[in-house]
């Protein structure tokens, strides 16, 4: 089934989402605070719109910097009317932030899922991300076809807060690894060993 999908936030991941969704047959509209950042998605076939233009899509993906940015965009979407739409929040958030966004979207009559992902741009372009999705059973079922275009595996974890917690749990060992690698390289500084 082809959906019209709006993407708020066309940084590296938002642009990768747009490219992958266009490749899999979806109509994609994009918006970014800095309109110049939509150029790569537009070159791939997306249409640049304002937030009200996103509100007309069947599905709106939020891929933004933080919860404050997601909240501001969600407020703008709600003002344009999103009753009956599906909002997929894909940013990395704290559990309480994900729950607050869910409540706001549902209060505006939209279905909502929080789906932070494991992976970077390269897997996103191939549909090989790990999706950690939380939301009502109805909203998750509705989001699954879109998420399966982006993810090799979609794990339903219950609530939006649970999905946020799982993403943070997955990130913790990665952060520890990078910190340890940095310490290892620092230990070798001055030893005459090429990095």
pLDDT in tens, the chain (195 residues): 457 999 999 999 999 999 999 999 999 999 999 988 999 999 999 999 998 899 999 999 999 999 999 999 999 999 999 999 999 999 999 999 999 999 999 999 999 999 999 999 999 999 999 999 999 999 999 999 999 999 999 999 999 999 999 998 887 777 787 788 888 888 888 888 887
- Report the DSSP pairing between strands 111-114 and 129-135: antiparallel
Quote the radius of gyration of the chain (alpha carbons, Å).
18
Tell whether the torsion through CA atoms of 8, 79, 115 and 96 is positive or negative.
positive
Q: Which two tokens stand for residue 8?
A: 């708020």
DSSP code per residue over 97-135: HHHHHHHHHHHTT-EEEE--EES-HHHHHHT-EEEEEEE
Element at 24 (helix H, strand E): none
* pLDDT at residue 154, as a whole number: 97
* pLDDT at residue 81, as a whole number: 92
Q: How far apart are CA 75 and CA 154, in angstroms?
A: 27
């Amino acid at each position: 089934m082809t959906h019209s999908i709006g993407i708020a936030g066309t940084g590296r991941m938002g642009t990768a989402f747009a490219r992958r969704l266009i490749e899999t047959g979806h109509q994609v509209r994009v918006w970014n605070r800095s309109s110049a950042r939509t150029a790569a998605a537009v070159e791939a076939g997306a249409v640049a719109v304002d937030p009200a233009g996103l509100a007309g899509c069947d599905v709106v993906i939020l891929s933004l910097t933080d919860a404050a940015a997601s909240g501001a965009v969600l407020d703008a979407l709600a003002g344009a009317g999103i009753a009956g739409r599906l909002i997929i929040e894909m940013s990395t958030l704290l559990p309480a932030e994900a729950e607050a966004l869910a409540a706001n979207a549902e209060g505006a009559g939209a279905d909502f899922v929080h789906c932070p992902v494991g992976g970077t741009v390269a897997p996103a372009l191939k549909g090989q991300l790990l999706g950690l999705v939380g939301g009502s059973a109805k909203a998750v079922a509705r989001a699954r076809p879109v998420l399966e275009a982006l993810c090799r595996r979609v794990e339903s974890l219950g609530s939006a807060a649970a999905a946020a917690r799982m993403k943070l749990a997955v990130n913790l060992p990665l952060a520890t690894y990078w910190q340890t690698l940095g310490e290892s390289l620092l230990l070798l500084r001055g030893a005459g060993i090429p990095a």
